[in-house]
Amino acid sequence: MGTGYVIFNNDGEFQKLGLKNVPGTHFQRRNLLVGKNGSGKTRFLNALYSEFKSRPPSDAAAVVRLDFSNFHLSGGKASGKPADKGLFDILILEEEASFFDFLELAEQENLKFIHDITKSKILYTEGLRRRLDRGLGRMNDHLREFIGYEIYFGDEPEHEPIIRKVDEGGKSARERPYRDMLAEFSPGERFIFYLCIFMYYVETVRGKGVILLLDEPELHLHPRVLTEVMRWLYESTAVKQLWVATHSLFLMPLFCFEEICLFEDGTIMPRDSKMYRRAYGDLVGLGDDGMFELLKSIDSWEYYRFIVECFCPPTTVGRANPRDEQFVNFVRSINAGRSGGIRVLDYGAGEWRIWECLQLAHSLGELDAGKIRYEAYEPYPREETLRRLEMAYGENPFQMYSRIDDVPDHSYDVVVLMNVLHEIDILDWEQTFRDIRRVLTPEGVLIFLEVKTLSLGEQPYGNTGYLVLGSEEVRRLFRPDSPGTGDGSSESRKTNCWAIKAFLLDRVDRASVRECVNSLIDSSKTVLTQAFNEKMAAAHGGAGSPGTGLTARKYAFWSQQYINAVLALERLENRGQLTVIAGGGQEPSKINFQGFSTP
């Protein structure tokens, strides 16, 4: 197996089942298997399962096949552990049991398993209860997203858990004891219920990841839920490999061109210009060229849509989730090496998402929000957001400022800059960090968070396009003397988080900003060049080519970021002069943006 793709050199298991063109084919870490009934998809999954079981992956990932057609979790032969080991013992107490014990218990115990993982929380230690609550909280997040339910657990052991149907605003529409509500679940809803528990075990308990083989996941699931669930599994870091056999047209846009495997009469067909037309014909069986053209153009459509979004105002994240990756990184950073109360300024607070996450995390017992004195600076507060906050938390729940000059000097232990810098005009960066330095205590820290790539394009309120920094750009901007001298950083799956000590903010000047932007130009160009070369290799290599994992939207993100960085450098050098090429063969003209106020 390669680093970024999978190759099977031994085709014994595949040949036995009449499968051709398997050796030498470069499969990806995410693969969608499409084709007519009898084309070989299920046979391929059977052979794949046998291959992985006889030659286990080097990363010790468990191999699990989820057969949707029979609503069956097949994980292999059980290890013979005592039958009195319940799911609660495996999930929460971490008693010795194999991965396959979990699957067998989930299958045998059916509805009883939810009782096992929630029984008598008061009988266990505080740390164990919190761990249980966090796991169940994640499960509820997915249940609400996929099927609109959540589970409420009382603290008394004799109280039966309640399942609530919730509306889009998160309010309870109706509720019933969990045994009664689960009995009403459709097969699709029940499968989602099991799947959330299953993935919780994979992500938080086992810790070694899983190779998932899914056969016909579209059965019992609404197309919207199907695509949401598949996107979740596709993006999960706990899923080391994903193999999906399907007849659903809705899943094709979720997978890249080089991740689609078309089966015809037991043969894996080449990935060429005819693949989408053949796949469409096999899945739908109609000669609708319009729909075929739509399928074929999915990547182009996603690319153009992102670029169009880059000329629209930025969207704000309004939904508060205390388990959001960025919020978790923020809390971890402010707690590092600190005791006692912390005064925090949310710089560019937007929808006050951090405040609401703090309140929710406090209500779940995951942190003591009373130790965090939260205040906010937001130059463009929205009236509807202010009204919503007042209705939820009362009048003036925290101190907020709309003018930076009103924020008191040397008063904050922490200033948090979350997804804000990339929206600030490049000419305002120096002043922004001077303002932050002024309000921080001498020993204060800037917590600087940015997503690695934007999922939506946006046109910031300033006069430069978005500039999303990485670790090298941050190093160039703040110029730490050496690693560990105040530029502490952490990296998660989607987010970068840097803890910048106050004295480093003094080092931001025009030269360091220029170095930062030059680095961004280089890094963006490197990503684009690599992706371009890989796509060219895929185009010329057919089925045997590895391709690239860079989606059309990410390719659009890096393309636009490269352009933004080049223009930002020009704007920086000209200090507000933007070169505009006039039409009709006229000479280039200059437009001066200095003095213009942002909306």
- Residues 467 and 498 occupy one common structural domain: yes
- Residues 200 and 213 occupy one common structural domain: no
In 3D space, the residue among 406, 387, 409 whose CA is nearest the CA of residue 396 turns out to be 387
- Separation of CA 552 from chain center: 16
pLDDT computed for residue 98 by the predictor: 56
Considering the chain, what percentage of its residues have pLDDT values greater than 90? Answer: 20
pLDDT computed for residue 591 by the predictor: 33
- Residues 343 and 438 occupy one common structural domain: yes
Task: Average the pLDDT over each of 49-58, 424-433, 520-529 and give the range with the smallest value.
Answer: 49-58
Kindly calculate the radius of gyration of the chain based on its CA atoms and give it in whole angstroms: 27
pLDDT computed for residue 309 by the predictor: 72
Query: Which two structure tokens, joined as six digits, stand for 154?
Result: 């009382």
Residue 588 belongs to some domain of the structure: no
Considering the chain, what percentage of its residues have pLDDT values greater than 70? Answer: 68
Taking only the tens place, the pLDDT of each residue in 122-161 is 445 666 666 666 667 777 888 888 888 887 766 555 566 7
Question: Which position has the higher pLDDT, 360 or 486?
Answer: 360
pLDDT computed for residue 325 by the predictor: 79
pLDDT computed for residue 148 by the predictor: 86
Highest mean pLDDT out of 163-177, 202-216, 358-372, 408-422: 408-422
Residue 414 belongs to some domain of the structure: yes
pLDDT computed for residue 585 by the predictor: 41
- Residues 125 and 228 occupy one common structural domain: no
Task: Average the pLDDT over each of 401-415, 424-438, 455-469 and give the range with the smallest value.
Answer: 455-469
pLDDT computed for residue 335 by the predictor: 74
Taking only the tens place, the pLDDT of each residue in 322-332 is 777 788 888 88
Residue length, the chain?
A: 599
Checking if the pLDDT of 73 tops 60, the result is no
Residue 313 belongs to some domain of the structure: no
Strands annotated E in 352-471: 372-377, 399-401, 412-418, 440-451
pLDDT computed for residue 592 by the predictor: 34
Residue 316 belongs to some domain of the structure: no
Q: What is the mean pLDDT of residues 60-83?
A: 58
**365: domain CATH number?**
3.40.50.150
- Residues 201 and 346 occupy one common structural domain: no
- Residues 341 and 484 occupy one common structural domain: yes
Query: Which two structure tokens, joined as six digits, stand for 208?
Result: 């070694």
Q: What is the mean pLDDT of residues 68-95?
A: 53
- The model carries a pTM of 0.58
Those residues with Cβ within 8 angstroms of residue 298's Cβ, 6 or more apart along the chain or in another chain: 252, 253, 552
Q: What is the 3-state secondary structure (H, E, C) of 529-563?
A: HHHHHHHHHHHHHHHHCCCCCCCHHHHHHHHHHHH
Mean pLDDT across the chain? 76
Query: Which two structure tokens, joined as six digits, stand for 481?
Result: 């003397």
Domains of the chain: total: 3
172/150 Cα distance (integer angstroms): 9
Q: 346: pLDDT confidence band, cut at 50, 70 and 90?
A: very high
Question: Which position has the higher pLDDT, 421 or 294?
Answer: 421
Residue where the block lists tokens 């989930």: 106
CB of 161 within 8 A of CB of 153? yes
Checking if the pLDDT of 54 tops 70, the result is yes
Checking if the pLDDT of 102 tops 50, the result is yes
Does residue 170 come out as left (phi exceeding 0), alpha (psi in the -120 to 50 range) or beta?
left
- Residues 290 and 336 occupy one common structural domain: no
Task: Write the DSSP string, 15-57.
Answer: HHTT-BS-TT--EESEEEEE-STTSSHHHHHHHHHHHHHHS--
220/217 Cα distance (integer angstroms): 8
Does residue 217 come out as left (phi exceeding 0), alpha (psi in the -120 to 50 range) or beta?
alpha
- Residues 168 and 185 occupy one common structural domain: yes
Checking if the pLDDT of 299 tops 70, the result is no
Residue ranges making up the domain that contains 194: 77-207
Residue where the block lists tokens 């096992």: 116
The per-type count for the chain, helices as H runs and strands as E runs, is 19, 21
CB of 285 within 8 A of CB of 42? no
**33: domain CATH number?**
3.40.50
pLDDT computed for residue 319 by the predictor: 59
pLDDT computed for residue 582 by the predictor: 38
- Residues 355 and 445 occupy one common structural domain: yes
474/289 Cα distance (integer angstroms): 49
CA 85-67-78 angle, to 5 degrees, is 30
Q: What is the mean pLDDT of residues 176-199?
A: 79
- Residues 423 and 483 occupy one common structural domain: yes
- Residues 133 and 98 occupy one common structural domain: yes
Q: 518: pLDDT confidence band, cut at 50, 70 and 90?
A: very high
Q: 543: pLDDT confidence band, cut at 50, 70 and 90?
A: very low
Within 340-492, residue ranges assigned H as helices are 353-363, 383-393, 429-439, 471-478
Taking only the tens place, the pLDDT of each residue in 410-445 is 999 999 999 999 889 999 999 999 999 999 999 999
Q: 347: pLDDT confidence band, cut at 50, 70 and 90?
A: very high
Q: 51: pLDDT confidence band, cut at 50, 70 and 90?
A: confident
- Residues 374 and 462 occupy one common structural domain: yes
Q: What is the mean pLDDT of residues 531-560?
A: 69
CB of 437 within 8 A of CB of 505? yes
Task: Average the pLDDT over each of 158-162, 197-201, 454-458 and give the range with the smallest value.
Answer: 158-162
Task: Average the pLDDT over each of 62-66, 140-144, 264-268 and give the range with the smallest value.
Answer: 62-66
Of the CA atoms within 13 Å of residue 561, those in its CB half-sphere come to 29
